Amino acid sequence: MALFEYEFMRRAFIVGLLLAVIIPCIGVVVVLKRLTMIGDALSHSSLAGVAAGLVMGVNPILGAGVTCVVAALGIETIRKKMPQYSDIAIAVVLSSSIGMAGVLSGFVKNAANFNSFLFGSIVAFSDFEMTLVVCVSFAVMLAFVLLYKELFFIAFDERAARLAGVPVGMVNNIFTVLTAITVSIASRTVGVLIVSSMMVIPVACAMQLRASYKRTVIYSVCFAVAFTAAGLYVSYYARLKPGGTIVLLGVACLILILSAKKLLKF
Amino acid sequence: MKRFCMTLWVCVAALVLLEGWGGYSPVMGAVNENKSQKLSVLASFYPMYDFAVKIGGERVSVTNMVPAGMEPHDWEPAAADIAELEKAAVFVYNGAGMEHWVSDVLGVLQNRALITVEASKGIKLLEGHHHESHEDEHEDEHEDEEHDHEHEDEVHDPHVWLSPVYAKAELENIKNALVQADPEGKSYYEANYEKYAAECDALDKEFTNILAPLPKKDIVVTHQAFGYICERYGLRQVPIEGLSPDSEPDPGRMAEIIDFVKEHGVKVIFFEELASPKVAETIAKATGAATDMLSPMEGLGEEEIASGIDYFAVMRRNLKSLAAALQ
């Protein structure tokens, strides 16, 4: 196929598919915990982190990672205080991140630097970013497999999980930190849009199929992989922006599933 | 509760008083001050600032509205900037769709004495993007201001200052406005204009002499900003993205550029200082080309400005990069 003649397309496929495997795994748990918008909130806090890093002369990638982890733990803390309203936690962290990024970016002297850290596109990223994504992907996959049962239990009923002897606090913290790192690295590499939507749309599609938890995870990953591959393929031949194409394909698929369900009444 | 209400009322009253007092004094003050002090000039972004400084010299104090190192395509004035405009005597902007906020902001200003200069006025603008939907546009760029609000739909290429010939035309427009604002300084402004107009002519000659004999004519750029240079010196720009930097490129376009670079033996992919170089680097890596910076001069970094660099210095640096790439 013509599109694989280009190295940037091969790289886009590798990174895109890796992320399509790990992000929905995180997404399933996130959606069940009613934290759907966490991807957006965290990517904005990584923006604040980049600005903070540039202002204080620290490595901006490190800055982004640190603020993302802090923001994610912040969401976790607020969520524990108001368990029924976990979206409040996200709104608080999201708005404070945007506020902080706005204020701090006023102090960034060299906007060129700032832009190159914010800009992410699945068809243009550096070798270093690719390495980071690969490493994080394997870390997340490993954690997801090892903590599979615990996450499953917590996602559905945190209180029952605690009574059953699951170390809820620790598992939650590990999961939160992994989510934060994934978002902060992936959003810089492939763009915020892909990361925050891949966390939710494939999971929403899979949940329509009313399968078991395990099947839902597998279906989500399949959906995400299909959206990414099809999106890259379509955007190449139809000359569209890849990020937006991937997301819109996912949404189209979700609408299709919903209307098919209504027609077939199952 | 009663005490709380009292405090609240006192605060409100104080605010109202402050507001009334603060609203009038700066404008009045500005009128009085300007007679004795330098003419206060606001410029919308770096080249406008540099041109205004060159013409106005010691008789004016010029402020660049876009802070150093910011990308002016996305910049919008904050409340403080509009307050500055209320106090200024002259406002210089490029026009041609570069500053999408100008018509809105000028509409709300109460500063009747403000003299505004659209520096690109009178220059024959190039068509921007190949947008088919804009065929019904009027010839006059003033009529187009409504359409320029969406930067994506830009009709004209606003980057006129990158051609030394048009830079001279912009200098002249700025000179005329300064003469209008400060007739006593007419001969001073005229002399400055003559001096820098001559330098523009010299720069134009340098470009022609150096670029004309070079074998290659194609430049690959990340941001379609060099139309006026290309038009003047017979080059061809192959833009990766459109007129605004920092949009995500589509992969089909990138593949096309990679093929073009390989086919025509393009040696350098140009990126600009204020946008991410990632796309240029990806293409350079795929083709074995080098990357270099070609400045559209939309803003310079703080260090650059501090080092005393100006329009002509940046243009000569661009010329050097172009010459190296087109060998």
Q: Give me the number of domains chain A comprises.
A: 1
CB atoms near residue B154 (< 10 Å) = 26
Mean pLDDT (10-residue bins), chain B, 327 residues? 63 59 44 62 93 93 83 81 91 89 89 90 75 35 39 70 94 94 93 95 95 91 89 90 66 88 92 80 90 87 78 94 92
Contacts of A210 (CB under 8 A, 6+ apart): none
Q: Quick one: B192 and B315 in the same domain?
A: no
Residue in B143, B177, A182 with CA at minimum distance from that of residue B185 = B177
Q: Quick one: B196 and B220 in the same domain?
A: no
* pLDDT at residue B316 in the model: 94
Tell me whether residue B147 is in a domain: yes
* pLDDT at residue B14 in the model: 63
> Which value does ipTM take for this structure?
0.76
> For B253, which residue in chain A has the nearest alpha carbon?
A239
| Contact by Cβ (8 Å): B175, B55 | yes
Q: Quick one: B299 and B160 in the same domain?
A: no
Q: Give me the number of domains chain B comprises.
A: 2
Task: Quickly list DSSP for A213-234.
Answer: HHHHHHHHHHHHHHHHHHHHHH
Residue in A228, A234, A242 with CA at minimum distance from that of residue A16 = A228
Contact between A3 and B253 using a beta-carbon 8 Å cutoff = no
Q: Quick one: B300 and B166 in the same domain?
A: no
Three-state DSSP at B237 gives strand
Tell me whether residue B144 is in a domain: yes
The nearest CA of chain A is from the CA of B122 a distance in Å of 32
Task: Quickly list DSSP for A26-59.
Answer: HHHHHHHTT-TTHHHHHHHHHHHHHHHHHHHTS-
Give the separation between CA A192 and CA A184, rounded to whole angstroms.
9
Q: Quick one: B231 and B297 in the same domain?
A: yes
Q: Which two tokens stand for residue A141?
A: 């996959």
Q: Which of B250, B260, B279, B302 is the best substitution to test chain A (most A C-beta atoms within 10 A)? A: B250
Contacts of B277 (CB under 8 A, 6+ apart): A116, B222, B271, B291
Q: Quick one: B243 and B172 in the same domain?
A: no
Contact between B286 and A6 using a beta-carbon 8 Å cutoff = yes
Interface of A with B in 71-110 (CB under 8 A): 108-110
Check which CATH number belongs to the domain holding A55 and give it. Answer: 1.10.3470.10
* pLDDT at residue B75 in the model: 80
Whether pLDDT at A1 is above 80: no
Q: Which two tokens stand for residue B90?
A: 């002259």
Q: Domain of residue B73: give its range.
A: 27-121+140-203
Q: Which of A109, A129, A193, A233 is the best substitution to test chain B (most B C-beta atoms within 10 A)? A: A109
Tell me whether residue B10 is in a domain: no
Give the separation between CA B323 and CA B302, rounded to whole angstroms.
27
Contacts of B290 (CB under 8 A, 6+ apart): B267, B268, B269, B284
Q: Quick one: B167 and B213 in the same domain?
A: no
Contact between A110 and B301 using a beta-carbon 8 Å cutoff = yes
The nearest CA of chain A is from the CA of B233 a distance in Å of 28
Give residue A140's Cα distance to chain centre: 12
Residues of B in contact with A7 (CB under 8 A): 285-286
Check which CATH number belongs to the domain holding B273 and give it. Answer: 3.40.50.1980
Q: Which two tokens stand for residue B146?
A: 């409504």
Tell me whether residue B273 is in a domain: yes
Q: Quick one: B100 and B222 in the same domain?
A: no
| Contact by Cβ (8 Å): A58, A42 | no
Three-state DSSP at B191 gives helix
Give the separation between CA B323 and CA B229, rounded to whole angstroms.
13
Give the separation between CA A163 and CA B131, rounded to whole angstroms.
64
- Chain B interface includes A1 (CB < 8 A): no
A208-221 per-position pLDDT tens digit: 998 898 999 999 99
Three-state DSSP at B91 gives strand
Give the separation between CA A150 and CA B21, rounded to whole angstroms.
65
Contact between A109 and B247 using a beta-carbon 8 Å cutoff = no
The nearest CA of chain B is from the CA of A236 a distance in Å of 5
Contacts of B137 (CB under 8 A, 6+ apart): B143, B144, B147, B155
Tell me whether residue B8 is in a domain: no
Contacts of B107 (CB under 8 A, 6+ apart): none
Residue in A50, A113, A123, A41 with CA at minimum distance from that of residue A78 = A41
Give the separation between CA B311 and CA B317, rounded to whole angstroms.
10
Whether pLDDT at A141 is above 70: yes
Q: Which two tokens stand for residue B86?
A: 């209320």
Give the separation between CA A117 and CA A43, rounded to whole angstroms.
12
Q: Quick one: B250 and B304 in the same domain?
A: yes
Three-state DSSP at B290 gives strand
* pLDDT at residue A146 in the model: 94
C-alpha distances out from residue B220 to A82, A175, B181, Å? 55, 45, 42
SS3 content of chain B, % helix, strand, coil (to 5): 55, 10, 35
- What one-letter code names the amino acid at B139? E
Contacts of A250 (CB under 8 A, 6+ apart): A197, A198, A201, A202, A205, A223, A224, A227, A231
Please return the burial class of A108, using the count of CB atoms within 10 Å of its CB with bins 0-12, 13-18 and 19+.
buried
* pLDDT at residue A217 in the model: 93
State chain A's mean pLDDT as an integer.
88
Q: Quick one: B74 and B219 in the same domain?
A: no
Q: Quick one: B221 and B112 in the same domain?
A: no
Where are the strands (E) in A78-228, listed by range?
none
Q: Domain of residue A43: give its range.
A: 2-264
**Chain B residues within 8 Å of chain A (Cβ atoms):** 68-71, 246-255, 258, 273-279, 281-283, 285-286, 299, 301-302
Tell me whether residue B199 is in a domain: yes
The model's pTM: 0.76
* pLDDT at residue B165 in the model: 94
Q: Quick one: B72 and B156 in the same domain?
A: yes
